[in-house]
Structure 1
Amino acid sequence: MKGKLNVEELVAKYLLGDITAPERKQLEDWTKSSPERKEFFNRLCTNIAFRERYEAYSHINSHLAWKRFKKKYCPSIISTYLKYAAILVIPILIITGGWYFSTSPQVETLNNFTLGDAIQPGIPKATLILAENNKQSLTPTYPIPVKVNHSTTAIAQNGTLIYPTTPNINDTLHTKQNETIENNTLTTEQGNEFRVTFEDGTTVHLNYNTEIRYPVKFSKTKRIVYLKGEAYFKIAKDSRPFYVITDQGTIKQYGTEFNVNTFIPKRTEVALVKGSISIVSKESAQEQFIKPGQLAHIEQNGNNVSIYDVDLTPYVAWNEGRLIFENRTLENIVEILEHWYNVNISFGTPELKQLRFTGNMDRYATITPILKAIARTTNLQINIKDREILITDN
């Protein structure tokens, strides 16, 4: 097949058993290019109802089969919008053309949408846990001093906790033979985010529901932090290696920028933006390197690290103030919205959770534009009452 890869036609040919060896290789390469595509394709192929609909057109060639199938089961894909009844069809329509949130004029399906303007995005807020479990609340205020141990005072300002810089590792405090490592812990809750600048100049952006534990001053040989949740790291250049330790393994950096996410149960997800890092799972001593533009999965109790070449934009966009979804289920999107906007979102029927979207939204806007985009794209009904949101079929 020459020119632009036509995934729709390749999938149609595969389901009809009319795919050539070169076309099969193209399709396999496409599915292996990201975990999301592989998951989608496997789910599509194992769905009996979807396959039976395709097989109903087996008496004609694949190209015509796809055209007739699309015409019968999703006639409104170009001019209007699909409803959840076409749920099994939606993913294949998304993967090649891109299902972007629409702003075209439609019948208003978001009841009391102005109430969404009162639902603001998350704010910079965190709790700092000091020695002996002493806690201090940090909010976006004018600069205030924060005593982080008996000899060190940090500054909290504009949503960032800034530790005093240590000039170099030959600083007298670092060279003491019996130096005591004192840890601080910074935590965020639902609807919060915060930033921290360590004494070496490394900056970390914490997403909601995140905890990071770190020393007030790093040791003279290495820099180690412990993470639960999601954080974006910009590591300062230093002769000491920097380690991020999660429940699944260890990320070691060699001068870099990367995102670490442990929100998915029993998995650590690492997206490398710049530089070089290696990953060692807890069950293996083997150090595996990943390159910029790659995504690594460290699974619980796994001996291997899975590495994928992907577009990193959706994985790191939150750090730049965007919410970017690429072929994500509505259930997954809702989970993110609940944590960031501190709301409760429920569905009228479970089937609605599996609708899939691709979209790019402002993370610091109110929730209204996102809800309106979902409502108009799917013709779903969205009702808001205080911080409770209900999504139902029209």
Structure 2
Amino acid sequence: MLNREEHIAWLIFLHMQGLTDEMQERELHEWRTAAPGREELFQRMMSREYMEKRISRFVKTEEEEEKRWQELRSKRSSGHLVRRIKWLPYAAAIALCLSVGSIFYFFGQEKQPEVLSMVEHDIQVPGYRAVLVLPDGRKVDLDDETSRSHLLGKDSSLLVRANSLEYRDINTPDTTEVFHALEIPRGGEYLLVLSDSTVIYLNSESTLSFPVKFQGGERKVYLTGEAYFDVKKDTKRPFVVVAGGLEVLVTGTTFGVRAYEDETDIQTTLASGNVTVKAEGKSVKLVPNEQALFDKSTMKLVVRNVDVDLYLAWADGRLVYDNCPLEKILTDLGRWYNMDVFYSRDELRSYQFSLNMKKHEAFSEVLELIGKTGEVRFEIKDNTVIVK
């Protein structure tokens, strides 16, 4: 059931498409004439340029999404992960944004509430940043071009770029697994292609330990933090992700694992294929659109149906939350944008918001969207966001 503002937003959307009937037009006319300023607001919304500029930040058309999907399929090495997300249509995007604020804030009124104050500088935008840890403990900053060139010169099995690291499957007589580790700092992300062609997209503040070349009957990697996996199918050698006290077994599928040490649970979210999740002697099998949730305090392992976009959209460059506590949203943003958060009142942590926008927007624009509800204000000082 839509609330009043959502209903009006839906009527406006239908009007723009020429799909309203006589009763809907009469209801919309009554709303337009019921209060000063509404007609002016309505006419601004009717400007196609105005509308496209506002809505394009939150949603893609089917044509745009199809074009982007084709680009990603043909350019895996560019550093983008190939995963198709079913984005909300225009009208649903309006409804989602209305849960953040009113229609007046979404479409933009002349006098908007103060959202940011004392902004000394914007927070850095997330980028491709990673450190490769070699078996002898040496660390190579992959953000540094000189370090990358030196690494390439010493190891012909590697293909390293600013945004991705790829291991080639070169035949060698050595049967001992040699491990590397990839560390992603706060404010970073990175694409990794293993020697078996498995593609892994690592999120901020994450570490993955993996063999340079897989040996034996299984392909095992170790994760702390968050990653999205597109596993190369191999029924003879299952792929195993070890994260905390949990193991995820797959033969070829796409899924996400979230296992930050400071969080109370470990999440395994399945996008396609099937996986088996094991923890504390228990085992569950997942089908697409299911999530295994392992509670680290109770040791319970449960399965639930979820909207996978809420848990995996980060890998496709989107911020998607639905009625989520502000503390959870800002914790994620803190990792992605490498900033700290201070709450002036504890109750602000539990305020719930919905959000759907590009991950790589300027951070002030993300705060602006949340702040337009009038529920909270933000102040940025140095590298800290103060929530008021």
1:51-130 counterparts in 2 under 5 A? 99-101=99-101, 102-103=105-106, 104-105=108-109, 106-112=111-117, 118-130=122-134
Question: Normalization by structure 2: what TM-score?
Answer: 0.68
1:267-286 counterparts in 2 under 5 A? 267-281=265-279, 283-284=280-281, 286=282
Deviation at 1:247, TM superposition (A): 1.1
Higher mean alpha-carbon deviation, 106-115 vs 289-298, is at 106-115
For the 8 Å contact 1:227–1:246, the answer to whether it is kept is yes
Q: Deviations over 1:208-255 (max 9, x none)?
A: 110100000001421000000000000012231100001121000021
- SS state at 2:192 partner: strand
Residue type at the aligned position of 2:275: I
For the 8 Å contact 2:314–2:359, the answer to whether it is kept is yes
Aligned length: 290
Unaligned runs of 5+ in 1: 7-94
Assess, with a 3 A threshold, how the Cα gap between structure 1 residues 278 and 345 changes in structure 2: closer, same or farther: same
**Is 2:217 aligned against 1:212?**
no
- SS state at 2:136 partner: helix
Higher mean alpha-carbon deviation, 152-161 vs 97-106, is at 97-106
Counterpart selection for 2:259 from 240, 250, 262 = 262
Residue type at the aligned position of 2:276: S
Q: Matched residues in 2 for 1:141 and 1:150: separation? A: 15
- SS state at 1:318 partner: helix
**Is 2:349 aligned against 1:360?**
no
Assess, with a 3 A threshold, how the Cα gap between structure 1 residues 303 and 337 changes in structure 2: closer, same or farther: closer
1:230-245 counterparts in 2 under 5 A? 230-238=226-234, 239-245=236-242
For the 8 Å contact 1:131–1:182, the answer to whether it is kept is yes
State the match for 2:243 in structure 1: 246
Q: Matched residues in 1 for 2:153 and 2:213: separation? A: 10
For the 8 Å contact 1:161–1:195, the answer to whether it is kept is yes
Q: Matched residues in 1 for 2:153 and 2:176: separation? A: 12
Deviation at 1:113, TM superposition (A): 7.7
Residue type at the aligned position of 2:328: N
Question: Normalization by structure 1: what TM-score?
Answer: 0.67
- SS state at 1:380 partner: coil
Deviation at 1:151, TM superposition (A): 6.3
Counterpart selection for 1:298 from 275, 294, 299 = 294
State the match for 1:310 in structure 2: 306
For the 8 Å contact 1:248–1:298, the answer to whether it is kept is no
Deviation at 1:320, TM superposition (A): 0.3
1:132-171 counterparts in 2 under 5 A? 132-139=136-143, 144-145=148-149, 147=151, 153-166=157-170, 171=171
State the match for 2:316 in structure 1: 320
Residue type at the aligned position of 2:241: V
Unaligned runs of 5+ in 2: 4-94
Assess, with a 3 A threshold, how the Cα gap between structure 1 residues 162 and 277 changes in structure 2: closer, same or farther: same
Higher mean alpha-carbon deviation, 346-355 vs 180-189, is at 346-355
Alignment root-mean-square deviation, CA: 2.9
Deviation at 1:296, TM superposition (A): 0.6
Deviation at 1:369, TM superposition (A): 1.4
Q: Matched residues in 1 for 2:322 and 2:115: separation? A: 23
Q: Matched residues in 2 for 1:147 and 1:157: separation? A: 11
Residue type at the aligned position of 2:114: T
- SS state at 1:107 partner: coil
Assess, with a 3 A threshold, how the Cα gap between structure 1 residues 391 and 193 changes in structure 2: closer, same or farther: same
For the 8 Å contact 2:118–2:381, the answer to whether it is kept is no
Residue type at the aligned position of 2:374: T
Deviation at 1:334, TM superposition (A): 1.4
Q: Matched residues in 1 for 2:319 and 2:201: separation? A: 15
For the 8 Å contact 1:325–1:360, the answer to whether it is kept is yes
Deviation at 1:148, TM superposition (A): 8.8
For the 8 Å contact 1:188–1:194, the answer to whether it is kept is yes
Deviation at 1:355, TM superposition (A): 0.7
Q: Deviations over 1:243-282 (max 9, x none)?
A: 000112100002100000012634210000010100110x
For the 8 Å contact 1:214–1:225, the answer to whether it is kept is yes
Q: Matched residues in 1 for 2:259 and 2:232: separation? A: 23
